[in-house]
Amino acid sequence: MGSIYGDWLKSQRKAAGLTQQDLANAAIMTRSHIAHIEAGRRVPSREDARRLDMALGTGNVLSSFLPQDDVAVADYFEPARQLEQQATMIQEFSYALVPGIFQTRRYAHAIMRAGFPPRSEEECDSLVVTRLERAKILADPVTPVVWALLDEAALRRQVGGPEVMAEQISHLIGLVECERVRVHVMPSNLGYHSLLQGMVSLMWFEDQPPAAYTEGAFMGKLHDSPALVQRLQSAYALALSDALPQKQSLALMRAIAKEHEQHD
């Protein structure tokens, strides 16, 4: 996100004689969120922009001119995608699928081709390219620090077939073996655990408060409420304490990859 949008918001706020806290109160947002938008560190959601327009009396200017990138992602994920690129540490949990930043091309393509009505090949390719672009944050050997907590079901579900799954798990194993990420597996015999109801991504930053993103079917939400983010962090820590240690997780991933290869 560029600074023009944030600078314009700041100028309108000052012209209205409002402090960041005044605007936050009027728009039902947090002061820190206003500060991050004005500094160009965060993209407001469409609902945020609508409330800001109402609070400032700017018609639909802030809603109409939300920053846009030439990327193909769901509207609800875009703010989280931008923060993902700025994070110094990321903790991911997924019970159904391998998280996006770890996905191989064929695995991602299998996901994009699923559903009805089917997407065109051109749209699928665009979505896959965007997903692979997200993975470039792992090109840096150190930052961000990335932890992944995966439910065993995400490794056993044959997305794209056994060959695609074997390749996907091998990719994960490679990331662990080169010490770029840490992966812990929640074994299926564990039963219920604190994160089982959805996908969670926790993000920390160098110069702003932590944030969290949660996602369900056809919906997702970025959270920056300190109380809610802390609650999600605690749930993650509790689930992590029940997961297999990394050495055992690696052994299980190798065994599951081998099972997929044998069924190919």
Given this model, what pLDDT does residue 182 score?
Answer: 96
Given this model, what pLDDT does residue 6 score?
Answer: 85
CA-based nearest residue to 225, from 235, 214, 211, 213:
211
Given this model, what pLDDT does residue 74 score?
Answer: 58
Given this model, what pLDDT does residue 130 score?
Answer: 84
Crossing angle, helix 105-113 and helix 162-177, to 10 degrees? 140
Given this model, what pLDDT does residue 2 score?
Answer: 44
Reported as half-sphere exposure (CB side, CA atoms, 13 A), residue 259 has a value of 10
Please provide residue 124's backbone torsions phi and psi, each rounded to the nearest 5 degrees: -60, -45
Bridge partners of 214? 200, 221
Bridge partners of 19? none
Tokens representing residue 44 in the block: 């407001």
Give the C-alpha separation, 203 to 216, whole Å. Answer: 18
State how far the alpha carbon of 94 is from the alpha carbons of 41, 69, 125, 231, in Å: 26, 26, 23, 17
Give the C-alpha separation, 154 to 100, whole Å. Answer: 12
Given this model, what pLDDT does residue 183 score?
Answer: 97
Q: Which helix (H) or strand (E) holds 250?
A: helix 246-262
Given this model, what pLDDT does residue 1 score?
Answer: 44
Dihedral over alpha carbons 155, 156, 161, 163 (to 10 degrees): 60
Given this model, what pLDDT does residue 192 score?
Answer: 84
Stated pTM of the model: 0.72
The residues of the chain scoring below 70 in pLDDT are 1-3, 41, 67-76, 264
